[in-house]
Structure 1
Amino acid sequence: MSSPAATRTSHPDWVKLPHAEAGNRIGIFGGSFNPPHSGHRAVAMTAMKRLKLDQVWWLVTPGNPLKDAADLAPLDKRIHMTSALADHPRMRVTAHEVVLGTPYTAETLKRLCRKRPDLNFVWIMGADNLASFHRWQDWRTIMDSVPVAVVDRPHASLSVLFAPMAQTYGYARIDEGDAVILPHLAAPAWTFLHAPLDGNSSTELRKRQTT
């Protein structure tokens, strides 16, 4: 079991939904960020540039149902570390899922779309999550809610060919050369973005901290 500090924050501002103007193109980059690292920033920067996003919202989740919570750092710590890493004027960090009370991405996206129907949301994820994406709660709902940008990660390039999500939604994939239109497409729509690879991973960083 994780401690209460792992899933709660003492800073009210961290749980607010970031400000955005109607019509903005918003990338939602969710994760436990335990800890955040340069590979995460590379994914966020790639999506922001290639999709010409107005903002990227780093959504620091209280917990990940698919991961062991025993080594989950306190939420406040993860928010502070993520904020230090997301040092760009078009990046925002929030733990708004604390307010929503939604442990699953599918429900979070539905709630966000209801709250801000005037925004053009895109879900951003690293390709290292693609192989297991079909194990996420209501993963098809995610695909049917907002467009999705998958950014290449080390050892994950072939997932775009063999992952169940990629095969199931092959018809909805657009060429990465057309990625700039993705935020304005109706879901399901997704693209795979090739990018310079950064080998850092949260798992490896945690291992180093305990050895």
Structure 2
Amino acid sequence: MVAGLSRRGARAGAAEYPGLTGLLGGSFNPAHGGHRRITCFAINALGLDQAWWLVSPGNPLKPSDDMASLRARLKSAEALSRRAPIVPSAIELELDTRYTVDSLKKLTRRYPKRRFIWLMGADNLAQFHLWKGWREIARTMPIAVIARPGYNADAMTSPAMVWLRRYRMSAASIRRQEKWSAPALVFMRFDPDPRSATAIRRANSEWASVYRGAAVRDRLTFRRIQDWQDPEGFDE
């Protein structure tokens, strides 16, 4: 979203702007410099207009005992995205979707003139074949996979990669595309980033207390996010 737009103007811009937008989903528990770095790398490599961080309301595949509130996680994403073309959002609350495949279908219907590309790490590609409707996700929009140390070998030999390999293309081809076609897969490598949310939580289990009581409003939906808005049952 362009700084300085009115709320009405921002909504119109999000609905009508024909630029290329990256989508990075995750718990962001908390958001950290590694998230920012890989996102900025993808923005530059693929010629993205901006990237949206889809902060998941919840994920039962991850332990819930150390999962911070949605408000704290969205606030941490807000702090890490400053001065970058990154828009954090908990829009899945408004979309009322449980699975990624449903979220992406609803996003493409909600913003029909905006082109999207799904961003994910090699660790996700390694288990992508376990996601509900993973082939449908691939047919909905192009996928850009960012190399991640320790996961690349599993990703390149995964069942999903066997199917997606025929659709592989370069980042330069993505930048030159006038019209999107999917499936399409881009595999990108860059200097590894050692930072992780798990390490941050181990070093400071009370990290979310920094955001206690802090107001947060979703920059895409303009909804105020409350601590109680943490529905269970969300996963990939």
| Equivalent residue pairs, number | 197
Match of 2:167 in 1: 172
User: Do the aligned partners of 2:104 and 2:140 also contact (CA within 8 Å) in 1?
Assistant: yes
Q: For residues 26-54 of structure 1, what are the alpha-carbon distances to aligned partners after superposition, in whole Å with 9 as ceiling and x for unaligned?
A: 11111110111122112211110111111
Match of 2:202 in 1: 207
User: Do the aligned partners of 2:46 and 2:172 also contact (CA within 8 Å) in 1?
Assistant: no
* 1:94 and 2:111 correspond: no
Q: Which moved more, 1:107-116 or 1:67-76?
A: 67-76
User: Do the aligned partners of 1:160 and 1:192 also contact (CA within 8 Å) in 2?
Assistant: no
Match of 2:213 in 1: none
Cα distance in 2, alignment partners of residues 57 and 81 from structure 1: 14
Change (3 A) 1:184 1:193: farther
- Name the % identity: 38
Letter matched to residue 61 of structure 2: L
User: Do the aligned partners of 1:65 and 1:103 also contact (CA within 8 Å) in 2?
Assistant: no
Letter matched to residue 80 of structure 2: L
Match of 1:136 in 2: 131
* 1:186 and 2:181 correspond: yes
Match of 2:25 in 1: 30
Question: What is the 5 A alignment of 1:1-211?
Answer: 19-20=13-14, 21-181=16-176, 184-210=179-205
Cα distance in 2, alignment partners of residues 44 and 86 from structure 1: 10
Q: Secondary structure at the match of 2:97?
A: coil
Cα distance in 2, alignment partners of residues 37 and 89 from structure 1: 14
| Cα RMSD (Å) | 2.3
Deviation at 1:86, TM superposition (A): 1.1
User: Do the aligned partners of 2:46 and 2:171 also contact (CA within 8 Å) in 1?
Assistant: no
TM-score by length of 2: 0.76
What 5-or-longer segments of structure 1 have no aligned partner?
1-12
User: Do the aligned partners of 1:125 and 1:151 also contact (CA within 8 Å) in 2?
Assistant: yes
What 5-or-longer segments of structure 2 have no aligned partner?
1-6, 207-236
Instruction: Work out which structure has the larger RCO, using CA pairs closer than 8 Å and 6 or more positions apart in sequence.
Output: 2
User: Do the aligned partners of 2:50 and 2:86 also contact (CA within 8 Å) in 1?
Assistant: yes
For the pair shown, which has the larger CA radius of gyration, 1 or 2? Answer: 2
User: Do the aligned partners of 2:31 and 2:77 also contact (CA within 8 Å) in 1?
Assistant: yes
Cα distance in 2, alignment partners of residues 183 and 36 from structure 1: 33
User: Do the aligned partners of 1:121 and 1:183 also contact (CA within 8 Å) in 2?
Assistant: no
